[in-house]
Amino acid sequence: MTDVPQHNPLRQFLDALREGSIPFDTSVLAKSPIALRSGENLAFVCYEVILKEPHTVDKGDLVLTTRRCVFLGEKRTLSVDLSEIIGVEPYGDAVAIHRAGKEQTERYGNLNKQEIAYTADGQRTLISGLVVACALEGLMAQSRASSPPAQAQVSESGAGALPTRSTADELAKLADLRDRSVLTDEEFAKLKAELIG
């Protein structure tokens, strides 16, 4: 199978998010909804998110920073260092986060209700599970790069390494989402066409 042409805007955006090369425009926020730690920067906020483990547990805001993923719920607050995340899985309007030492996956849904601004050409795009997963992968990669000792430990164990995704992998994920009725046939066709170019 041939690779997607490099001029595909969706592919370029998702690849740049995964690489951590898109700085987020947080100027639209009046202030950070959480107290940032020293050296920590806000990436973006998803409002009115639903947390499931595996049933609906809470509703609140999901805050991504350069060091943490924070859920500010009505019932509880979760703060997870990016180094604790061993995998992310995108869904149509949700992202599943797998953490080291935690059996149950946390699934954050209802993500497609707002846009995210990114400063590459000042564009905006609708938030989706795939966008949040790519953003998390990029933030995790940046976090590992800025803390070499932690990166060495992760690399030795093999856990936490981000797989390289091919076009076939992306298409397989989209097909799986369609088969599970997360995506409609029309949404699948549109995303597939954008991915293939």
pLDDT at 126 over 50: yes
Residue 3 lies in a domain: no
Task: State how many domains the chain has.
Answer: 1
Q: What is the pLDDT of residue 50?
A: 94
Residue 185 lies in a domain: yes
Residue 167's pLDDT band, with cuts at 50, 70 and 90, is low
Per-residue pLDDT tens over the stretch 16-72: 888 887 777 666 666 788 998 898 888 888 899 999 987 888 999 999 999 999 999
Residue 2 lies in a domain: no
Which residue from 114, 148, 128 is spatially nearest to 13, judged by alpha carbons?
128
Domain that includes residue 151, residue range: 9-196
pLDDT at 168 over 90: no
Which has more pLDDT, 119 or 95? Answer: 95
∠ CA 186-190-195, rounded to 5°: 145
Residue 145 lies in a domain: yes
Residue 117 lies in a domain: yes
Q: 149 Cβ partners below 8 Å, 6+ apart?
A: none
> Per the structure block, which two tokens stand in for 8?
């595909």
φ, ψ of residue 102 in degrees (nearest 5)? -125, 120
Residue 1 lies in a domain: no
Residue 4 lies in a domain: no
Residue 170 lies in a domain: yes
Per-residue pLDDT tens over the stretch 67-108: 999 999 999 999 999 999 999 999 989 999 999 988 889 999
pTM, two decimal places: 0.68
Domain of residue 36, CATH code: 2.30.29.30
Q: What is the pLDDT of residue 117?
A: 57
